[in-house]
Structure 1
């Protein structure tokens, strides 16, 4: 049973502002772990004004990438290889031929591949309060889904092209979100799939107070660390996600996660019980 519409209908709006300075952002949201939408914060970025499929096809170099399809979190899919420009061309071809594409590009280290594109974004509002930042791009067709999960880092998420829907829930509902025991780097997955849902299997979901929003191009959403979120592209979409760590978190959290990931890859921690390794 698909209960996405039911949850959205019952959800509360996320607090919204039209402008904010870095001091207020830190005091009211970053420190308090409160989500907020900053309407139009990225509307004047070079990325929002310039980026698109044709823009990406004109970039000088091609890169090897990894793609996902369907709901990676709950469907337990695996990555597939492609090249950046071949994938972008496939997306462009769908516009002409109306042929469906399920694959989407997730967590692309876009500025490592194309360093000059750093000039097209401005995360200074967020980065004044973090010591290190992992910035990733998300590119794909309509209807791509990232099922409920909770990232261990604070996340400032900018919508560049298209529309995306977020459904989020506070950490106080952790026990009602049925955390998965499977290993996933930098996050905790939920067992709950609201596209294929059963109240018999996950009845406590009724206790969760959800919030939702549809991000428009130029909108920015702050998702506090460990908050549960479900993301669905409503149209072909380009987004940028900035996972930020404070100086304390670099050693207390990020280092710990890297050690655990290293142990996992060596088979010492949750071997074959994960979202990253090939099934055997």
Structure 2
């Protein structure tokens, strides 16, 4: 049973502001772990003005990437290797000709691939309070889903192209979000798939307090550390995530996660109980 509409009907809006500075952000949201939308903050970024599928095709280099599809959190997914420009061409063809297309480019280290694009974004108000920032891009067709999960880092999420719907839930409801034992680097997944919901298996899930928003190009959303979130693309979209770690977290949380991931890749930790390994 799909309960997305039901959750949206009972959800509350996320607080929205029109501007922010580093000091106010730290005091009112970062320290308090409170979500907030900075409406239109990124509208003047070069990325919002320039990035589209043709722009990516114009970049001089091609790169190897890894793709997922459908709900890549709750579904039995594995990464598949592809070429960046081949993927963009396929996505463009699907968009231009109204074709069904499900492949989704997730957590692309876009500035490692294309360092000349670094000046196209500005997370300075957030990065004033972090020591390390993992900035990644998300590119995909309408309908792509990231099922409920909680990132261990604070996440500043900028919508560059298209629209995306977020449903979020605080850490106060960790137990009734039904955390999964499935390994995900830097995150915890929920066992609950709200597109195929089993009320008998998750009887208290609908008692949680949810908040929701539809992000438009130029909007920036702060998802606090360990908050649960579900993301669905309404249109073909391009987004940027900035996962920020404080100095303390770099030498504690981040180091721990890297060790666990290394053990996982070597088959010593939750081997085959994950979504990160490439399909054969």
* Bin for the TM-score computed over the shorter chain: over 0.9
SS at match of 2:192: coil
2:198 aligned partner: 198
SS at match of 1:74: coil
2:45 aligned partner: 45
Return the alpha-carbon distance in structure 2 between the equivalents of residues 106 and 83 of structure 1: 14
1:95 aligned partner: 95
1:129 aligned partner: 129
Contact 2:46/2:121 (CA < 8 Å) preserved in 1? yes
Return the alpha-carbon distance in structure 2 between the equivalents of residues 174 and 75 of structure 1: 21
Residues 179-198 of structure 1 mapped to structure 2, 5 A cutoff? 179-198=179-198
Q: Deviations over 1:122-162 (max 9, x none)?
A: 01010000001000000010000000000000000000000
1:86 aligned partner: 86
1:67 aligned partner: 67
Deviation (angstroms), 1:46: 0.0
Deviation (angstroms), 1:279: 7.4
Return the alpha-carbon distance in structure 1 between the equivalents of residues 137 and 192 of structure 2: 25
Contact 1:153/1:226 (CA < 8 Å) preserved in 2? yes
Return the alpha-carbon distance in structure 2 between the equivalents of residues 138 and 239 of structure 1: 5
SS at match of 1:76: coil
1:11 aligned partner: 11
Moved over 2 A (4+): 277-280
Contact 1:272/1:279 (CA < 8 Å) preserved in 2? no
Greater Cα shift, 182-191 or 94-103? 94-103
1:119 aligned partner: 119
Return the alpha-carbon distance in structure 2 between the equivalents of residues 61 and 247 of structure 1: 34
Return the alpha-carbon distance in structure 2 between the equivalents of residues 165 and 279 of structure 1: 29
1:148 aligned partner: 148
Return the alpha-carbon distance in structure 1 between the equivalents of residues 138 and 47 of structure 2: 13
Deviation (angstroms), 1:112: 0.3
Return the alpha-carbon distance in structure 2 between the equivalents of residues 137 and 274 of structure 1: 21
Scaled by the length of structure 1, what TM-score is found?
A: 0.98
Contact 2:12/2:212 (CA < 8 Å) preserved in 1? yes
Deviation (angstroms), 1:95: 2.8
Contact 2:79/2:279 (CA < 8 Å) preserved in 1? no
SS at match of 2:105: strand
SS at match of 1:253: helix
Contact 1:43/1:217 (CA < 8 Å) preserved in 2? yes
Residues 17-36 of structure 1 mapped to structure 2, 5 A cutoff? 17-36=17-36
Could you list the runs of 5+ residues in structure 1 that have no partner in the other structure? none
Return the alpha-carbon distance in structure 2 between the equivalents of residues 96 and 147 of structure 1: 27
Aligned Cα root-mean-square deviation (Å): 1.1
Pair 279,101 (structure 1): closer, same or farther in 2 beyond 3 Å: closer
Could you list the runs of 5+ residues in structure 2 that have no partner in the other structure? none
Contact 2:81/2:278 (CA < 8 Å) preserved in 1? no
Deviation (angstroms), 1:97: 2.0
Scaled by the length of structure 2, what TM-score is found?
A: 0.98
Alignment size in residue pairs: 280
Deviation (angstroms), 1:270: 1.5
SS at match of 1:147: strand
